[in-house]
Each structure stands twice: as structure tokens, then as C-alpha cells.
Amino acid sequence: MSNLIVRWGGLRAVVALAVKFLIVVALGLVIPLYLAAPFGATHTPAVEIHDEAEIIDDDALRSALEGVGFRRDIRLAILTMDDVETETVLNNTVVNNTAFNDAVLAYALEHEPSWISTADPDYWADGLVILAVSQRGRWVGCYFGEDVKVGKYTEGKIQDAAKDSFRTSQWGAGLEAMAQRTAESLGKPITSARVAVLVTCLSIAAAIALLGLIFLFRHVARDCLQQARRRFAEVTADYDATQIRAGSVPADNAYGAQVLARFAWFEERYAQLVRLFREFGEPRGAQWFALGCLGDAAELDDRAEELDRLDDFIAAASTFLTLGPGWEEVWENEQGPVREDIGSYAALCASVAFSTLQAKVSFDVAPDRDLVRERRDRLAAMTRELASGALTPTAALDELDAMVVDVHQRCDDLARRALAADTSSTGRKRLARYEKDYAQGKYAGEGADYQGWWSTSARSERHHYDLAATIRINSKSVGLDAPGLYDAVVRRPGAHDVGAYGANWPYSESGASGVGAVPLFSRPVDGLVTGYSNIVSPSSGSSSGSSSGGSGSSSGFGGSFSGSGSSSHF
């Protein structure tokens, strides 16, 4: 037995799995059974028969009712009446549908005062159940003490249990059916049948979900481990090549320095992952079902994926910085954030043109549209210059940084000029709001991220790029958590609180070119475009009130009596 437990992952894992399965059994079987048919229906009711209509065999009915098992002590009163009219109807409208309830209460007050609670005469006595029928009025009713009362839905089901028998004048059989249905309802943990069904369904659903999760955890954990090992094997196979590529990266500029900083972190994370794989070991049997196993396997997979991406990034950065084979693809990806910002600049031009036309303000966006075309043409020219050797990789990256700063500044300038062109009171308010929001960094906080795609117009094809693989740093860059890199780039001392575009958008310390001790950290300009559009878009709100009428509900009894129970026709 001990060997079997060891093969299944040890005592702790086996016990943990057994507890999970016990919870599944409790949710899927024990709780539904307990709600549907709790045990203990062994109490014989104290039967009272008041056959005022003389329509039943008292002895036979008493014997039958005493054979009905209840889950608690019950005083079961049977009442038949034959002098109760149907509801009062005036002008085709029911004006009194409590006739039978009132008749039962009147009978109790006159003949059976013990049916009324001594603690509060507005309620039936505790432990009392009254099952009543009227042959002439074709009424059937059931009434309960406060400690044994059931919901209105259950009251209706108790009455419905007798109606088929009452319609064929089988009064005893109908009353016995009512007593049986009452016994099934009383003493349940949830007296409302609808709620009990709902809770039962939820409990079974929870059991199925939990069982599914247990096996899903095992499946996902196995997949994560398998994928982590595959990725780690690829990184290990390329490890020597990665070191060689990193050695070719120039360290005399900001771009090469931060690539090498991320490579140093790559080596540190690689050593950590080797240790984590060793600590994870080889799970067996029940160990796979543990949530901790899934978490550890997922962490292994995340770290392996991170290393794999870092590996690819270092290879790409080395390829471009040395203009090795395939540098064109790396350069194309490197332009992605800049092209996305230029696309946002073009979108701002369109938004300004539309808003100023709508406000009947004279404003010319043609110069800015010309600048958009110039920036796109320059990117194409840079590619040709890189290929011919007229432009070095470092100078190209510097120019991308400068272009980003320029686009951000021109977008801000365009938005301000467009808002200032509207000299109306509304225009002045919009400009003041824009300046306030800009100063507070609402258009580019730390949560601003590039989308990872760009297009030349709203109708043109989207061009996707890999944000994590760019040499120039952005919020999605792989390896950004390398020691000191994030603080140096984004939160370094002396950085502008509000740079060219919003809070935490710092310039390079040596100027717009981006050459300095640390590289530029890029944030997108699209937040500014959205902010401008929101300011100039007319906002309208309307409030509408609605009234609804409710229908009043009458008490089950004509007077102030508040006891539980109801009646209906058969």
C-alpha cells in the first residue's frame, strides 16, 4: 500500500486529491439528496378530523393520515365545510376571494380556539397544519403555524395534489394526497420547492465544474510543462550562438548598451530557470492535480517563453546593429511604433479638419498632412540609405527617436492651434480643458501602450509588428525588467515630469536625437488624438423618468389576521 501511495505522488498529494473528490461527491450527490429527500420522516402526526360536511370516513382517513411520516411533530387538522360560497363577483370583477379563508378562521375562533396562537392571536398556533375542503363552494385550502409554514408556491402544490380526487368526489383520497405532499415539504432545509430545485441544480453544476477543473488543472499543467521544456530546449540549443551574437553588439551607444543589459539579465534568468526545473522535478499521479503544480508549471512556461523571446530579440538586435543577413526584416519591425505614431498624426489631422469645419472655424491642416507624407517618405529613404551604407544602424535608431519626439510635439501643437482657432466661449473652455488634461498627463500615463499595428489610412490594410522585439524600448519590450533598466529609462532622475507628450514621457538626456547614457522610452501618441476628439465632440445627455404601476396584493384573510395559508378552487 505504501508503495502505491509513493507511486501516486506521496501521502499529502493523495489526501489532497481525495478531499477534492469528496467535495465533488458532496456537491453532486449528498447535498441534492439531502435537499430532495432528507431523512427522519418518522414522526406520526396528531390527527384531528372535523368533518362538518359529512363527506369522509373518519376512521379510515385517520388511519391513513397516521401512516404518513413527517419530519417533526405535527398537529394535523382536517376540516370539511359545506356552507362556504364562491368568491363575490361584482360587475364581472372579483371583489372577495378570501371567502374560504375567512370561513376557516371563523370556524377556528368559534369551535377550535386552540388553533390560534396564544402568543400572537393574529397567527395560527405553532406546529399546526390545517387541510380544508368545501364541497359546495369547491374550495381547497391549507394553513400553517409560523414555525411550519411553507412558501406560496408550495401551498399551491399541496392544494393541486388533491384537486383531481376532489373533482371526482374522492374526498378522503384528496386529503390524504394533501397530507402526503405536506409531509414531503415540511422539514426540508429549504422549504421553497423552487429554491430547493435551484440550489440542487447549482450544487450539481458546481460539482461538475469542480470535477472538470480538477482534470483541467492536470491537463494544463502537463501541457505547460511540456511546452516549457520544448522552449527551454530551443533556448539551450541556441545558447552558444546567442552569446556570440551578444558579443557582436556594440556597447559604445545607448542601444547596444541596453541590449547587452538585457542579455546579462537573460543569462541570469537562464540560470534561475535551470534551478526551477530541477526543483519542479517529475510530478507523479496525484501531484498533477494540485493547484500548486499548475502554478509552478505555468511559471516555468512563462519564464521559458520569456527566455525564448529574449533569445530572438538579442539575435534580431545583433543582426540589425551589425547589418547582418536579414536586417531588413528587423528594420521593418523597428519602424512599427514610429509608423503607428505617424498614423495617429494623420488621424488627428482628419479629426481637426472635421471638428473645425463643424464649428465653422477657418483652419488649414494641409501643412500637417504634408508633414505626415514627408515622415513616411523619410522612412522609406532611410531604408535605402541603410542598404547603401549612407546611414548607420545607430544613426537610424537616433533618427527614429527624433522623429517620434517631433511627431508628438507636432500633434500637441496641432491640437492646441485647432482649439485656439475657435475664439468662442465654448472654444476657450475646450482649450482650457485640453491644457489642464495635458498637464495632468491624462493623454499618456504609464498605462499607455502601442497597439502593435499601423496603417496608412482607415481603409488600408493593417500592418502588424512585434512590440516586444523592437530595439528601441517601449512598455512591451521583452527584458524591460532587467536590473536598473526600467528605472534608468522611464523613471531616471532628472527626467521631465511632463515631456513631449504627457506624464512620464522623458526625453533622452542628450537631446532629441536620442543619443545619451540611456535610450528614449517611447509611448504612443494615440491617447492625445482620442483626448482631442473627446473634447471637441459634442456631448449630450438626456434623462428620462419612468413610472411604473404595481398591483396591490390582498391578504389571505379578509381582516387583520396574518396567519400563513391560502386557498383555491378545484
65-102 pLDDT per residue, tens? 999 988 889 999 999 998 776 655 444 444 457 889 98
Confidence band (pLDDT; 50, 70, 90) for 501?
A: very low
Where residue 132 falls among pLDDT bands split at 50, 70, 90? very high
Model confidence over 399-418: pLDDT tens digits?
A: 999 999 999 999 999 999 99
Mean pLDDT of 275-282: 86
pLDDT at 326 over 90: yes
Q: What average pLDDT score do residues 142-146 get?
A: 94
**How many degrees, rounded to 5, is the angle at CA 125 between CA 123 and CA 127?**
130
C-alpha cell at position 479: 527584458
CA–CA separation, 414 and 332 (whole Å): 28
Q: CA nearest 40: which of 68, 70, 65, 64?
A: 70
516: confidence class by pLDDT, cuts 50, 70, 90: very low
What CA dihedral angle connects 225, 230, 236 and 239, to 10 degrees?
Answer: -120
Cα 273–chain centre separation? 32
DSSP readout, 200-221?
HHHHHHHHHHHHHHHHHHHHHH
Residue 511 has pLDDT above 90, yes or no: no
pLDDT at 50 exceeding the cut of 90? yes
Query: What's the pLDDT score for residue 512?
Result: 33
Give the DSSP H/E element, type plus range, for residue 406.
Answer: helix 393-421
Tens of pLDDT, residue by residue over 204-251, are: 888 888 787 778 788 888 888 899 999 999 999 999 999 999 999 988
- The count of residues in the chain is 570
Say which DSSP state 498 is in: B
**Burial (Cβ within 10 Å: 0-12, 13-18, ≥19) of residue 141:** buried
Rounded to whole angstroms, the maximal C-alpha distance in the chain is 116
pLDDT (average), residues 7-27: 68
pLDDT tens digits, one per residue of 351-360: 999 999 988 9
Mean pLDDT of all residues in the chain? 82
Residue that wins the pLDDT comparison between 41 and 531: 531
pLDDT range class, residue 105, cuts 50, 70, 90:
very high
Q: Which of 290-294, 331-335, 398-402, 507-511 has the lowest mean pLDDT?
A: 507-511
pLDDT band of 496, cuts 50, 70, 90: very low
Instruction: Give the least confident one: 65-74, 344-353, 446-455.
Output: 446-455
Q: What is the pLDDT of residue 17?
A: 66
Q: What's the mean pLDDT in 154-178?
A: 93
* Higher local confidence (pLDDT), 537 or 339: 339
DSSP notation for 247-271: HTS--SSHHHHHHHHHHHHHHHHHH
Q: What gap in Å lies between CA 347 and CA 458, rounded to an integer? A: 8
Average of per-residue pLDDT across 463-486? 87
Residue 28 main-chain phi, psi, to 5 deg: -90, -20
Which of 91-95, 368-372, 557-561 is the least confident region? 91-95
Specify the pLDDT at position 209: 82
pLDDT of residue 2: 60
Residue 519 has pLDDT above 90, yes or no: no
pTM: 0.61
In angstroms, the CA 436 to CA 429 distance is: 11
pLDDT the model gives residue 116: 94
Identify the pLDDT of residue 66: 92
At 34 the pLDDT is: 66
pLDDT of residue 21: 76
Percentage of the chain lying above the pLDDT 70 cut: 80
CA distance 63 to 40: 21
Q: How far apart are CA 249 and CA 260, in angstroms?
A: 7
Position 303 confidence tier, pLDDT thresholds 50, 70, 90: very high
Residue 549 predicted with pLDDT over 90: no
Mean pLDDT of 358-367: 92
Residue 486, pLDDT score? 62
Q: What is the percentage of the chain residues whose pLDDT exceeds 90?
A: 49
